[in-house]
Amino acid sequence: MSLIRPEITAALYRWQETVIGVAVSALGFYWAFFTGGGLLHWIGYFLAIFGGILAFLGVQRGRFRGASDGPGLVSVNERRVTYFGPQSGGMVDLDNLAELILDARLARPCWILREIGSDPLEIPLGSRGGEALFDAFAGLPGIRTEHMLREMQSEQRHRVVIWQSEELQNSTRWLH
């Protein structure tokens, strides 16, 4: 029996990096401004900056992480995304990824990862282990993470391309 309510535990888990970043930053500010100087004073400045960066990244991760009540299981291992779902599944190598799409038209919004020459992989938002997709997507060259997070939280029900490979951008540019 836990003394902490499940909703609070879920919120703390969702925002854990932000909470840690704020705590580290607060400790850094305390050491930087309320100690008598010396080495601890300078370490405090470093900790305050480091904590601020960690809090900023934690906010982005927290916005990406949602409820984990979606169907299926996501695994990211060495730039390969694998999804095991109740009705479908598959794997996509991020090095061969052509397009990343967020489709919010469905009852449960999903990521669509498309490789050229293979069937697209659909991963519902909130799938267990889906928080690992943030780091996987952040490693795509030229992706705009703020755009991705804004579209995830949008109330509009539409399909939007979050990222395209440079090859696909160049090929579609010549079609028109």
pLDDT per residue as tens, the chain (176 positions) = 678 898 888 888 889 999 999 999 999 999 999 987 789 999 999 999 999 999 999 999 898 887 667 789 999 999 999 999 998 899 999 999 999 999 988 878 999 999 988 899 999 988 999 889 999 999 999 999 999 999 988 888 899 999 998 877 666 555 45
Domain count within the chain: 2
Map residue 164 onto helix, strand or coil. Answer: strand
**Domain membership flag for residue 1:** no
Q: Is the dihedral of CA 136, 138, 142, 147 positive or negative?
A: positive
Domain residues for 167?
Answer: 70-173
Domain boundary among 49, 64, 79: 64
Q: What is the pTM of this model?
A: 0.77
**Domain membership flag for residue 138:** yes
